[in-house]
Amino acid sequence: MKKRQLGTSELFISEISLGGMSLSTDKKQAATIVDMALDAGINYIDTADLYDYGANEEIIGATLGKRRKEVILATKVGNRWTEGVNSWHWDASPSYIKEAIHASLRRLGTDYIDLYQLHGGTIEDDWDGIISTFEDLKKEGLIREYGISSIRPNVLRRFLPASSAKSVMMQYSALDRRPEEWFELIAKEGASVVTRGTVAKGLLTNSWQQRLQHVNGFNTYTVDELSTTLTDLAAQYDDLHALAIAFNLKEPTIASTVIGASSQQQLAETLAAYEKIDSITDFKKVNKLTKDEHYQEHR
């Protein structure tokens, strides 16, 4: 498993990362997947305090145990559960971030987080306060680096130049190429992209035909457009799962692709696809067959 530098930081993360959100709430089942990932050379695990009301952090923390030092551990903050109501609200205030970091540390069973990410953001947020808080957490040794999970261009233009952020988590795949126009800016500011949605809800895997039966479209693709695009891609490339990973990792700004797994079989399929990516070097057909779109909002 190859590793890439996360921005200009000292963190080197595996090209395939494990997304914690898909893990089972059964600790034993989750542990089998995490151990399998670590044994395969995956060293980056992404979670958030939002997932399963914080239980996802607890499960990952308990699962890692003595293997904690093998892992670049990332979590997120900003989506705050509302007491007594099954919903959350946005809270990126410095006071809440300072409170939430300690709760995440406790659940993860660790005394530091490698990468702490703001889980969204709006242009109206107190960015000076947010950045100052993250910098304070670094000085205190509670986090090693920080970043953001956001697709909003106006937020990225505000946050990145004013901070020492090292990562931007964005939905990106051959079926969602909107982030491409921002890769140059992100790299210029010393950060890397970590992608989510790499396999587009399974549409960019070898079970795409079955997945297609259960969607009403994807982004701006209608069902008919999806069917045509995926059929054409499958005719040109032997393995859509491998293509999905290779397509993302062709970009030097991308440090890693976060892919979830709810079973060992799913993880095994991802690892098998990863082994094939070096054989995929021509992406002209992908670019021709897929939509090259830009974000229309939050500019």
C-alpha to C-alpha distance for 176 and 220, rounded to whole angstroms:
9
Q: Which residue has the tokens 């995490």?
A: 34
- φ/ψ of residue 295, rounded to 5: -65, 135
Judged by phi (left if over 0) then psi (alpha if -120 to 50, else beta), residue 6 lies in beta
C-alpha to C-alpha distance for 243 and 238, rounded to whole angstroms:
8
Closest CA to 56 of 97, 19, 98: 19
C-alpha to C-alpha distance for 185 and 253, rounded to whole angstroms:
10
Q: Which amino acid is at 293?
A: E
Closest CA to 159 of 135, 194, 195: 135
Measure the N-to-C terminal CA separation of the chain; round to a whole number of Å.
37
SS3 content of the chain, % helix, strand, coil (to 5): 45, 20, 35
**Active site positions, annotated:** 51
> What is the three-class DSSP state of 194?
strand
Within 10 A of 282 (CB to CB), how many other CB atoms are there?
8
> What is the three-class DSSP state of 75?
strand
